[in-house]
Amino acid sequence: MQKYLPITLNSLRPDTIINCDVYLLVNVNGASRYILYCKGNSVFENNKIELLVRKNINRLFIVRDDQQKYFEYLESNFQNIMSDERIHPDERAQIVHSAATNLVKDVFKDPRTGNIERAKKFAYNMVDCVLRNGEASFSLLRIAKHEYYTYTHSVNVAAMGTLFAKNLGFSENDLGPFCTGTLLHDLGKIKISPNILNKNGRLTEEEFETVKKHPELGVNILKETGNGFKDEYTIILQHHENCDGTGYPYGLKKSEIHSIGRVARIIDIYDALTTKRAYSYAQTPYDALSIIKDEMSDAVDRVLFKQFIKFLGGYGW
């Protein structure tokens, strides 16, 4: 028996080919049935959208097995979706977050060159959105997922980190690599046993030593694809380095840590604290900032941290 997943009409662009069949859920003689509305290899014409709008229908369906095709469609139409002011900013951001999370899953499942390039393209599109659509960018913060999974954490860090980097005055040329690096910052974890990563409790010293290898493992994976990254490597290597030298993998001190690494460190800590983990509850933004200030002030760049507090305050947090 086929299983169907809901999608929003607003995620579909007029006069495009979606590459998966689209269905309506209708009531026929008292029974609910899924009726084919547009075949995946046909153009989803504007008149089909207008008809649904007139009937106040915004929820459509796809077959569960076609979910990957749908997410790839969202990726390829990212710019058009994010520039469509008819869609509420929160809904636009939700579409972006779901597509980005699926993309990170694909990269982690198979970090070949094609998927890495998809991630880079998506990151640069996200930067373009952040630079040109402030309201939609704000929504990227509000819809951040608060259940901790490596995929959602990566998307949260990339979205928030890019917004903060923009706030700090990063140029457009710097924001692209920064967003890509933060999106892929935990890639090395695919080389670490899920039993360690998802352990419900304190890691043993040996297990923690294994986890500490993930920044270098991530860079090694990317280098194997021959992508020619530079700043992205720095972010991946340094997102766990602390200004007081207690971080890993190299135990660098503040003057030895690149500014993009120090920015990534703050965002990584903050998102980890504000999302629910197997062994801890999600902290409120205020409590998370208090923990960093009271317990980790030597680990983070204090000047950048003060700017981060002001940055969050500007969004009403």
In sequence order, what are the residues at sequence separation of 6 or more whose Cβ sits closer than 8 angstroms to the Cβ of residue 136? 82, 89, 92, 93, 129
In DSSP terms, 153 is beta-bridged to none
Considering 189, 191, 223, 253, which one is annotated as catalytic? 189
Is 189 assigned a catalytic role? yes
Per-residue pLDDT reduced to its tens digit, 162-171:
999 999 999 9
Q: What is the pLDDT of residue 144?
A: 63
Q: Distance between CA 22 and CA 11 in Å, rounded?
A: 12
Q: Among 223, 275, 216, 221, which Cα is nearest to 240's? A: 216
- In the chain, what percentage of residues exceed pLDDT 90? 68
Q: What is the pLDDT of residue 147?
A: 53
In DSSP terms, 36 is beta-bridged to 23
Query: 0.95 exceeded by the pTM?
Result: no
With a cut of 90, say whether residue 315 has pLDDT above it: no
Angle (nearest 5°) at CA 106 between 105 and 111: 115
Q: Distance between CA 26 and CA 148 in Å, rounded?
A: 36
Q: Among 50, 4, 42, 46, which Cα is nearest to 23's? A: 4
Per-residue pLDDT reduced to its tens digit, 51-96:
999 999 999 999 999 999 999 999 888 888 877 888 887 888 788 8
Per-residue pLDDT reduced to its tens digit, 89-146:
788 878 888 888 899 999 999 998 889 999 999 999 888 888 876 666 667 666 665 5
Query: Residues of CATH 1.10.3210.10 domain(s) within the chain?
Result: 77-314
Between the two ends of the chain, the Cα-to-Cα distance in Å is 46
Least confident of 42-51, 199-208, 231-240: 199-208
CB atoms within 10 A of CB 144: 19
CATH number of 77-314: 1.10.3210.10
What are the φ and ψ backbone dihedral angles of 301, each rounded to 5 degrees? -70, 115
Least confident of 75-79, 106-110, 188-192, 250-254: 75-79
Q: What is the pLDDT of residue 200?
A: 81
Residue type, 114: G
Q: Count CA atoms closer than 13 A to 196's CA, side-chain side.
A: 17
The full length of the chain comes to: 317
